[in-house]
Amino acid sequence: MRADLRIGFVGYGAYVPETTLTNEELTHLVDTSDEWIRRRTGIQSRRILNGTETILDMTVGAARKAMLDAGVEAHEIGDIRVGVNTWMRFPSLATQVQKALGATDAAACDVSAGCSGFIYAVEEAYNKIFVERVKYGRALTSLVVGVDALSHITDWSDRGTCVLLGDGAGAVVIREVDAGGILATHTHADGNFGHLLYSETVPVLQAASAAPGPVQQIEKGPPAFLRMEGRKVYAAAVDTMVGEVRRVIEKYNQTSGESIGIGDIDYVFPHQANLRIVEMVAKRLRIPLDKIYTDGIVKYGNTSTASIPLGYCDVRDRFPDRPPGRLEVDVAFGAGFASGAILRRVP
């Protein structure tokens, strides 16, 4: 790796829908209680799209804030990657963001990797910036958004899943930086476990693909509900996220000659799936809970690929004076048992 080439986050943006859905409100939909949800998940409320805002609004909203934060204009963006699982159509959400922003010089594509989509998208953006510089001598600025509208695929009669999920978007601008930056990334997947966390295939879509019919026929079809075997996913999430943190540090140490340990990490942004998962990951890694972001779970629930970048904005708003140079890790796990981690030094 070229030692002088540093690539990092230079701007952050978040967008959550206006409508809040509390645990108490969910008790009117399914047989549950605020006490059960808090004790088993830590969640107190979540935001959901209410019909006036769309997944595109969330994505563009977060992207615009990140660009403003970075001081970057649309024409400077050369690459747009959107981690998303709930766009469910083409052309990609990234191309519609490109259009909305007027980022006419950008390439654009979506990244589907379950709740780890943001990590995958950052890794791809980072690698592209690196190659463009080393191979072609070109500086590239990338926009990465993690967004999902899980409410679109929530079965509001399934108490085992509907209490967990929420909607939101978070974005970062990535480019070359003078100090700090991304030190290492690691990603993995295991599709053998796809049946434990998935969205159903829409029957009407199957029929339509055999004999294409009017679009309205598809749109009126039953939604592709999210299904999950919670206990098995819980156990796998803990093991995998612990492994990802260790692996990304090892990967960095092997290539840099440094010997960073878990104790050197200043802060962790885990995917906000469930407070109990995060607490168990912290315990297994022996990282104190005050070094781990957990507020997103409490107020937004599981926002899938948005949860990590939403966390960046939340922490920055609450602690604006945190010094540069901190060592941080992002770690995620999700459907397809796709997982990943990023080791970063904050510029």
Residues forming the site for ligand COA (CB under 6 A):
32, 36-37, 40-41, 115, 159-160, 163, 228, 230-231, 233-234, 237, 273-274, 277, 302, 333-334
Taking the least distance from each CB to ligand COA, the nearer of 106 and 164 is 164
Nearest alpha-carbon partner for 242 in 275, 196, 182, 286:
286
Q: What is the nearest approach in angstroms of ligand COA to the Cβ of residue 277?
A: 6
Taking the least distance from each CB to ligand COA, the nearer of 185 and 272 is 272
Measured between alpha carbons, how far is 58 from 169 in angstroms, rounded to an integer? 6
And the tokens for 272? 């906000």
Element (H, E) at 160: helix 159-162
Taking the least distance from each CB to ligand COA, the nearer of 40 and 251 is 40
Is-contact 338 116, C-beta < 8 A? Answer: yes
Cis preceding-peptide flag for 17 (omega within 30 of 0) = no
| HSE-CB of 320 using CA atoms within 13 angstroms | 1
Taking the least distance from each CB to ligand COA, the nearer of 60 and 242 is 242
**DSSP string covering 23-81:** HHHHTTTSS--HHHHHHHH---EEE---SSS-HHHHHHHHHHHHHHHHT--GGG--EEE
Position 334, amino acid: G
- State the residue number with the nearest CB to ligand COA: 230
Q: What is the nearest approach in angstroms of ligand COA to the Cβ of residue 25?
A: 13
Q: Which residue out of 115, 162, 274, 313 is catalytically annotated?
A: 115
Q: Which residues pair with 232 in a beta bridge?
A: none
Q: What is the nearest approach in angstroms of ligand COA to the Cβ of residue 125?
A: 22
Q: What is the nearest approach in angstroms of ligand COA to the Cβ of residue 280?
A: 10
Q: Which residue out of 23, 85, 274, 302 is catalytically annotated?
A: 302
Q: What is the nearest approach in angstroms of ligand COA to the Cβ of residue 84?
A: 15
Decide: residue 288, CB within 10 A, 0-12 exposed, 13-18 middle, 19+ buried.
exposed
Taking the least distance from each CB to ligand COA, the nearer of 103 and 162 is 162
Annotated active-site residue 188? The verdict is no
Q: Which residue out of 152, 186, 271, 313 is catalytically annotated?
A: 271
- Mind telling me the catalytic residues? 115, 271, 302
